[in-house]
Amino acid sequence: MSSLNINMELKKIYHEMGLSDEVLKLGEEAENALSERFAEIDAVAEYNQMKVLHAMQECRVAEQHFATSTGYGYNDDGRDTLEKVYARTFHTEDALVRAQITCGTHALHLALSANLRPGDELYSPVGKPYDTLEEVIGIRPSAGSLAEYGVTYAQTDLLPDGSFDWDNIRKSINERTRLVTIQRSKGYASRPTLSVDRIGELIHFVKEIKPDVLVMVDNCYGEFIETKEPSDVGADMIVGSLIKNPGGGLAPVGGYIAGKKECIERCAYRLTSPGLGKEVGASLGLNQTFFQGFFLAPTVSAGALKGAIFASYIYEKLGYKVIPGPGESRHDIIQAVELRTAEGLKSFCRGIQMAAPVDSFVTPEPWAMPGYDDEVIMAAGAFVQGSSIELSADGPLRPPYTAFFQGGLTWNHARFGILMTVEQMKKDGILSEF
């Protein structure tokens, strides 16, 4: 088929799927403007693909590692090798990668509760952590929070321009400070996401003040976006969810913690039981999926990142505030778009939902989600429930009604999803432009 024919076919199928010529044109314009950016993303993906492949080869991954275990899960060679692959890829001494870690919040709670003791202080030098950690820490009272176990919490906010408040950080670190938590991604806040280099600078600073303090980085959404991870710049633990970047869209559940041997051992003792640690935990048939998802993760994350930048470009052009802007450097796959009204946020989410491979016919509605303070609206038609490496958008129903957009297992799908949001907002009379 000639390229002219392909273009006609493409246009035809896009029309059938609900995209108008104006919106298609906007998409083409954005893609052309971003071509250099996309070439850089491809280069990072190529490097990270080799990093994962190299680790798999060095760990001599073999077909036998796809075998499963049940019950106690003793001698599960596949599970143990997968953990070696994670450790090698992230340049850490050890890793815990388990289906028994139910989500990102669970992985973070595990890393914190395993490594803190009564009387210790947990400290965040980068402001308030992700919403669900408020109950984990006890910022909002909750049964079983760290506060109930006698662990106190302190925090220093970023300065208004997004930089670190060095003076107050120095003052806040005291004899009880045991663990410093650094969130790489902005989460539901409007602060900038931190680059691995900036995280490295911060770790260097706190370790100079207190060499034996442990540093944990919440790495959610950051994996494989740069050629380095926070574990390459001094983090004692990096933590994330397998239904985000490192699961490559294939992992149906799970979380990981990679880091120093003694930290990981404490995490394993906490996850299972003192004395049992990593020896138990059946892989329940998931080994092959976890390996394959990790193998795909660099390219899947790159496609999602292109989608985020594409969204940023288009919504800035349509007159919305976008964080980060389309020209800014990127350190995670989350794109925030301030939609200004509840109607705008709902309309955006409807567009994402309509673009989904699963449940494309349903209408997302706001609801009170466990662990979150405000009502949240979520759009996702995913193969894995709640998976946000798949095309998804969500946001709390509070001003400035920001949609947090992320994911897309393929760049083509992410691109389509964004164009569908524009089309939907146009239909709902929210965009005056068209």
Choices 21-29, 103-111, 154-162, 270-278 (CB under 6 A): range interacting with ligand PLP: 103-111
Q: How far is the CB of 183 from ligand PLP (least distance, A)?
A: 5
Structure-token pair, residue 429: 């009379």
Amino acid at 30: A
Strands (DSSP E) found in 363-422? 367-368, 375-380, 392-396, 402-406
Distance in angstroms (rounded) separating the CA atoms of residues 320 and 339 = 7
User: Residue 103, interface with ligand PLP (CB under 6 A)?
Assistant: yes
CB 415 to ligand PLP: min, Å: 23
CA 293, CA 349: separation in Å to the nearest integer? Answer: 27
Q: Judged by CB under 6 A, which of 78, 104, 281, 344 binds ligand PLP?
A: 104
Residue from 76, 94, 120, 218 touching ligand PLP (CB under 6 A): that is 218
183 contributes a contact to ligand PLP by CB under 6 A: yes
Nearer to ligand PLP, 145 or 424 (CB): 145
Q: For residues 391-430, which are near ligand PLP according to CB under 6 A?
A: none
Amino acid identity of residue 31, one-letter, is E
DSSP state of 94: E
Contacting range for ligand PLP; rule: CB under 6 A; set: 15-23, 71-79, 157-165, 217-225? 217-225
224 binds ligand PLP (CB under 6 A): no
Backbone phi, psi, residue 333, to 5°:
-100, 10
Burial of 21 (0-12, 13-18, 19+ CB in 10 A): exposed
Q: Answer yes or no whether residue 187 interacts with ligand PLP by CB under 6 A.
A: yes
Sheet of strand 121-124: strand arrangement: 94-98, 255-259, 237-241, 214-218, 177-183, 121-124, 152-155
Considering only the stretches 26-34, 60-68, 78-86, 213-221, report the one whose residues sit in contact with ligand PLP under the rule CB under 6 A. 213-221
Instruction: Using CB positions, name the residue nearest to ligand PLP.
Output: 104
Select the residue interacting with ligand PLP from 124, 156, 172, 185 (CB under 6 A). 185
Question: What strand order describes the sheet that includes 321-323?
Answer: 321-323, 335-338, 402-406, 392-396, 375-380, 367-368
Told to check if 123 binds ligand PLP by CB under 6 A, we report no
Whole-number Å distance between alpha carbons of 364 and 197 = 38
Residue 234 Cβ vs ligand PLP, minimum distance, rounded to whole Å: 19
Of positions 130, 291, 294, 320, contacts ligand PLP by CB under 6 A: 130
Question: Which positions touch ligand PLP (CB under 6 A)?
Answer: 103-105, 108, 130, 132, 183, 185, 187, 218, 220-221, 241
